[in-house]
Amino acid sequence: MGLIDMLFPADTVSKVREDMLEYGKNNPSMSEAQIIEKFSGSMSRAKKAEAKEALKNMPLPKSKPTKAERKKAVEDTKAKALMDSLEKRASKEIKEERTKLGLANSKSRGGMPKKAQMMRGGMANGKQHMYAAGGSVNDGLKALAKTRPDVVAKIIK
């Protein structure tokens, strides 16, 4: 609150309206615009004063915690961190015990079986070709020769 507000407290909005009506009755030659212009400063000061008073009397929003709530939240955070570290330690100890007992790898994991690893072949037509592990191109020709020897003969010529 400023010094002027302390020395000259603002009127209420209803008081300023009454003063405007009284002034209008006493000065009929003045237009509404002139009366509003004359009392605009008083009206805005009164509105500001009422807004400040409303803010003072407004309760704190729920999003802003009190000091006790902040302190409790800090303690809860510490407790949560402690519990997390204890759970991690316990889980590590359980894993170690399972390893000692030989149960570490006994978990059954389902899913698709892995494919046989493919070996790199050569480049043909700008593409990398892959072959089955240990296989070669001739293996494919041998298989084709069993079923269609005439085709293989044309390829080799």
pLDDT tens readout for residues 96-128: 877 777 665 555 556 666 666 556 667 767 777
35 HSE (CA, 13 A, CB side) = 17
Q: What mean pLDDT is reported for the chain?
A: 75
Q: How confident is the model at residue 114, as a pLDDT?
A: 66
Burial class (CB in 10 A: 0-12, 13-18, 19+), 121: middle
CA distances from 85 to 2, 16, 31, 78, 96 (A): 54, 66, 78, 11, 17
Domain residue ranges of the chain, discontinuous segments joined by + = 3-57, 62-102, 118-156
Q: What is the tens place of the pLDDT at every residue in 56-87?
A: 777 766 666 677 877 888 888 888 888 888 88
Q: How confident is the model at residue 88, as a pLDDT?
A: 84
Q: Judge whether 13 and 44 are in contact, CB under 8 Å.
A: no
What average pLDDT does this structure show over 29-55? 81
Q: How confident is the model at residue 37, as a pLDDT?
A: 82
Q: Which two tokens stand for residue 105?
A: 């790898």
